[in-house]
Chains A and B, each alone.
Chain A
């Protein structure tokens, strides 16, 4: 039996065998298949965790959560989700050092994408907090750390599964005193204002992110809501126990009809979203769920984009290319390609991983429904702008880059491919993403 797999954007699906090996021996045996890739919770937007005609290894069986040590170290099976981990960790006063915008990612997936969160400008991406991990490759099992086999350790972050199957990760958690986050919110009427505020003030906050309205035009182009905060230093109110976020109770039951999200509905949503935010508010206590994972309140929200799905476009550019962000938003706004609130954030230093996405400067992420005929060419143009600015596009989000552009964005791809060939000379490890972008060819 084959299963149709797509990424979270629900585009370009392919059929493959699905298996869920729960031991390193079983993974090693599965890696003899001619084309094989690991899959976590399927939150990569594009085709990273699928391989047409091949074998896909669901990591859900690797679900052990070890005890959390007094130093905050915990050893986790790669299939543990951030949600599972937080359920155990928050009541004990620990938090994940880095969380993306959803708790529905596996630890293996967090490594593969080298995920970042609202604290990248302070804490870096996921790799910085991994102390050790075990990686099953077609030529053997490797126990990796920044000290042991550092080249393979780092190459695995951001490699979208192409160095092997991560079985176990030892992670350094972050101590928290409360399950609340104290949040400052500010509303800005244009992009220049919010970017200036972020450059000036982000250092004072552990977490910072701005939502930008890409549908607003004219003088209000790029109007934004900036939310910044940090964990509260003491439990709130009378309840001294810290609670993990609850699982979502609401779900989108069916795939929406095509065109539900169109310029009119998205403009209306953005308008409401913008007006609902206070102009300036300080120290509001928010739960971890509502601050970090607002979209987790609605399961299967990707179905809202209809049968043709959507793409997410996320790029990073250096500080000296801030105008690339402005130009990108201006072009989207002018083209009337519908786009939900875009996410703008500052990145701190990157890590030594050759395919890791974050680099110091700015990052902008946009959700765009597939449909408008001009979208493909518009994004190709944005790729050129990003390359000219020495920036890059995030592979975990990608479903439409070209092989040429990816080489300009990730100049260390050749080095990565050569290393991958040493642990997988017959190139068993591949994915639809790797085939599309020729990632194993360097």
Chain B
């Protein structure tokens, strides 16, 4: 059970090998988290992440395999995660995402569909099952990994950012639907984060490391703000960027 300071004891991570998710899990395990279920597509990486969670204080870990290109399998994956936990789940982190280098695949319709499936359809299907189970529990939190890219979609990553934009907006309504159930949903909007997902990408202003994001997440989980920005200043930066005329935006965004 979560305590008075919003520190969860039991965590399910969908996309458990994500660098940001791992950094968050590390921080939460050094506080109160003792039982962690990590779901992902690569058993070796999952085992590595699980070992790391134990290093930081988790006493029990489980791993679950799934393929995010198959949204109709999402409910099964979520069920397996909850089944592995023999107690109520305090926090579900939805961190599934695929970025890659868009210029290499943007004219490939199959790849465009895959980007939409992995970044939008699978998470949406999974969240439906998560919602059902947490509402039955009468308590719980959901953290959905969005991105500042969802606020204004860039030319160079519109397949990823567009899918995140859909997910981000959907989660706003999903969070409202949870009012009065004991379950809350928070949306994480990190800026550019140095991680394996962004290796090779040029760094831009307000770039952070995963540990800074994790720090912002832990602080955000203790509060009740719907959106967790990381770093927090991006909330204001993107308020401005969102309203830039398109010609200027193109210059700023794709420098």
Contacts and interface: CB of A to CB of B under 8 A. Distances in A.
Interface string A397-412: 0011111000000000
B177 interface: no
A309 interface: yes
A302 interface: no
B246 interface: no
Nearest to A47: B1
Given A15-B182, A370-B5, A307 B222 contact: no
Interface string B171-191: 000000000111000000000
Interface in B25-81: 31-32, 34
B106 interface: no
B8 to A, nearest CB: 10
A46 B4 contact: yes
Interface stretch (A5-13, A227-235, A269-277): A5-13
Contacts of B5: 11, 311, 370, 375-376, 400
Contact of A12 (B2, B88, B181): B2
A138 interface: no
B137 A52 contact: yes
Given A15-B139, A53-B137, A370 B4 contact: yes
B219 A373 contact: yes
B179 to A, nearest CB: 11
Classify the secondary structure of B's interface with A: loop
Contact of A400 (B4, B34, B137): B4
Contacts of B180: 4, 15
Given A52-B88, A373-B222, A400 B138 contact: no
Interface in A380-428: 399-403
A14 B224 contact: no
A53 B88 CA distance: 9
Interface in B76-106: 87-88
A311 B4 contact: yes
Secondary structure of the A contact surface, majority rule? loop
A269 to B, nearest CB: 22
Contact of B182 (A11, A52, A375, A400): A52
Nearest to B136: A53
B7 A16 contact: no
B110 interface: no
A217 interface: no
Given A14-B182, A373-B222, A436 B3 contact: yes
Interface in A20-48: 46-47
A54 interface: yes
Interface in B1-33: 1-7, 9, 31-32
Contacts of A400: 3-5, 7
Contacts of B7: 376, 400
Contact of B138 (A9, A15, A309, A370): A15
A54 B1 CA distance: 14
A2 interface: yes
Contact of B1 (A307, A308, A432): A432
A142 interface: no
Given A52-B88, A402-B32, A14 B4 contact: no
A403 B87 CA distance: 14
B222 to A, nearest CB: 7
Interface of B: 1-7, 9, 31-32, 34, 87-88, 136-139, 180-182, 219, 222-224
Given A373-B219, A432-B139, 18 more contacts: A9-B4, A11-B5, A12-B1, A12-B2, A12-B4, A12-B139, A14-B139, A15-B138, A15-B139, A52-B1, A52-B139, A53-B88, A53-B136, A53-B138, A375-B5, A400-B4, A435-B1, A435-B88
- The 7 tightest CB contacts between A and B, nearest first, are A11-B4, A436-B1, A52-B138, A399-B4, A15-B182, A14-B139, A15-B138
